[in-house]
Structure formats: structure tokens, C-alpha cells
């Protein structure tokens, strides 16, 4: 699971908080890097499932950071209750999360300037109603790279859920595919590192730092997601997924 720390001389930004039990691990990792959790000024989230948003409440409590999320995710974060329109909502236990004490509603296509970095909000629904991709520029000297933390695009659901019965969710996926594929994308990151081959690229980057970059990464990510959705819809058509 990913937890992305963006550091500047003005403070830091954290994207995603892992599982509820991940919070102390994330805090320890931040401190191991020589930073302080209390200097995290904002926490952003890809989507409100417990493996990516479960630790946000505790991390906010300890840091005092502001939490930003699109309206559907904001509702889950501030109530702790899953969104009824989430394809995974009917799973046993439901995809609820520990509720945060304070959050702000972000708007699609908004630019949020905080802690010396400007974060671009890109609504990417499908996996969840409030799925969000975050982009920013990472600069060193005069060289800048377009960073993309693309939300999950996998068609995962509760048992008996059929995506083919929910055209609005399919429309959300199509919108998300188009938006992510069109983003300036030097370095792709994802909530599940394996979905963007992050560790493999980091290993290659030890010998050649350029290996971490892949300007076609976002397009490849979308192509894989399109294929997964097509296979899921075909399985529903053939009866592999029961009503």
C-alpha cells in the first residue's frame, strides 16, 4: 500500500493513510526520513476504502493537518460510513473508515496550494464514487517532473454486484480512463505500488535514475484497466458473476 510524502521547506503533504494500523508505521517512516509528522500540513486521499483511508483519522489527530477530499469521499471520511453507491458497499463489514474530525471538500479540477506545493484535483470515479487522482510538479533546480498519483481503476465489487447494471458507474470509469490517459505524466504512482510497477522501476533507478520515469505510464495504466473492465463485463454477460 502506498503512502506518499511530498516534502518542502514550508511543510509536507501526505497522500493516503493506509490501514488503521498503518498510522504508527507511517509516522515512524516519516521520522526515519528526518521529518516530523506535525509538519504535515495536508492529507489527501485517493479513495475511501480502509486500506487507503483507514489511518487518516489518527494521522490527522497527531499532525493537525487539514484533510481534503471530493464530496463523496468527504461524506465517508466525516461519518465513517461507506457510500451506498460504492461497488464494494455490500461487502461484509462494509468499506467504512475511522471518521476524521475535520475535513474540507475539494472540487474537481481545483488547484490546492499548500506547504509550498500545488496539488491538482482530478475526479476519477469508478472504483469508488469519490475516487481522486492527484497531480503535482516535483522540481529540482530548473528541472521539473509531472507527478501523477492515479487512483485505482480496478472493477472490484461485492459479491453479486454487476457493473453492467450500473451504467453511471461505467460512465465514471470511462471518464476516468480518458482523464488519466490525457494527463502530463512523467512519473506514475498508484495506491497499490504493484499496479504501476513502482518497486521494479525504483530498482532500475538505482543504476539509471531515468528508469523511474515513464511518460507512457498513465496510458499503459489505463489500457490495463480498460482490459480488466472489459473482462469483468464479459464475465457478467456469460453468467460467471451471478445476480
What's the pLDDT tens digit per position in 32-67? 999 999 999 999 999 999 999 999 999 999 999 999
Q: Does domain 4-237 fall into CATH 1.10.760.10?
A: no
Q: Could you give the CA distance from residue 108 to residue 132 in angstroms, rounded to a whole number? A: 9
- Residue 243 reports pLDDT greater than 70: no
> pLDDT tens digit string along 167-194?
999 999 999 999 999 999 999 999 999 9
pLDDT number for residue 242: 59
Using a pLDDT cut of 70, give the percent of the chain over it.
98
For residues 73 and 226, give the distance between their C-alpha atoms in angstroms, rounded to a whole number: 23
Measured distance CA(133)–CA(190) in Å, rounded? 9
Please state whether the predicted TM-score (pTM) of the whole model is above 0.85: yes
User: Which set of grid coordinates corresponds to residue 132?
Assistant: 481522486
pLDDT tens track for 22-35: 999 999 999 999 99
Distance (Å) of CA 160 to CA 125, 163, 164, 172, 198: 20, 10, 11, 20, 32
More confidently predicted of 137 and 239: 137
Domain ranges of the chain: 4-237
Q: What number of other Cβ atoms are within 10 A of residue 178's Cβ?
A: 11
Within a 10 A sphere around the Cβ of 164, how many other Cβ atoms?
14
Amino acid at each position: 500500500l502506498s503512502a506518499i510524502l511530498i516534502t518542502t521547506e514550508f511543510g509536507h503533504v501526505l497522500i493516503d493513510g493506509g490501514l488503521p494500523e498503518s498510522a504508527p508505521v507511517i509516522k515512524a517512516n516519516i521520522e526515519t526520513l528526518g521529518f516530523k509528522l506535525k509538519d504535515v500540513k495536508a492529507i489527501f486521499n485517493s479513495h475511501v476504502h480502509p486500506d487507503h483511508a483507514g489511518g487518516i483519522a489518527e494521522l490527522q489527530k497527531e499532525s493537525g493537518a487539514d484533510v481534503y477530499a471530493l464530496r463523496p469521499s468527504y461524506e465517508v471520511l466525516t461519518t465513517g460510513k461507506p457510500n451506498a453507491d460504492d461497488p464494494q458497499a455490500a461487502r461484509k463489514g462494509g468499506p467504512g473508515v475511522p471518521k476524521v474530525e475535520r475535513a474540507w471538500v475539494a472540487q474537481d479540477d481545483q488547484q490546492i496550494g499548500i506547504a509550498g506545493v500545488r496539488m491538482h484535483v482530478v475526479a476519477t470515479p469508478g472504483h469508488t464514487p469519490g475516487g481522486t487522482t492527484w497531480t503535482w510538479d516535483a522540481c529540482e533546480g530548473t528541472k521539473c517532473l509531472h507527478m501523477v498519483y492515479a487512483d485505482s481503476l480496478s472493477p472490484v465489487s461485492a459479491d453479486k454486484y454487476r457493473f453492467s447494471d450500473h451504467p453511471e458507474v461505467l460512465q465514471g470509469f470511462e471518464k476516468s480512463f480518458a482523464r488519466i490517459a490525457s494527463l502530463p505524466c512523467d512519473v506514475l504512482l498508484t495506491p497499490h505500488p504493484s499496479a504501476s510497477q513502482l518497486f521494479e522501476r525504483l530498482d532500475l533507478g538505482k543504476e539509471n535514475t531515468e528508469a523511474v520515469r515513464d511518460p507512457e505510464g498513465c496510458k499503459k495504466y489505463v489500457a490495463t484497466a480498460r482490459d480488466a473492465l472489459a473482462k469483468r463485463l464479459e464475465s457478467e454477460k456469460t453468467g460467471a458473476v451471478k445476480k
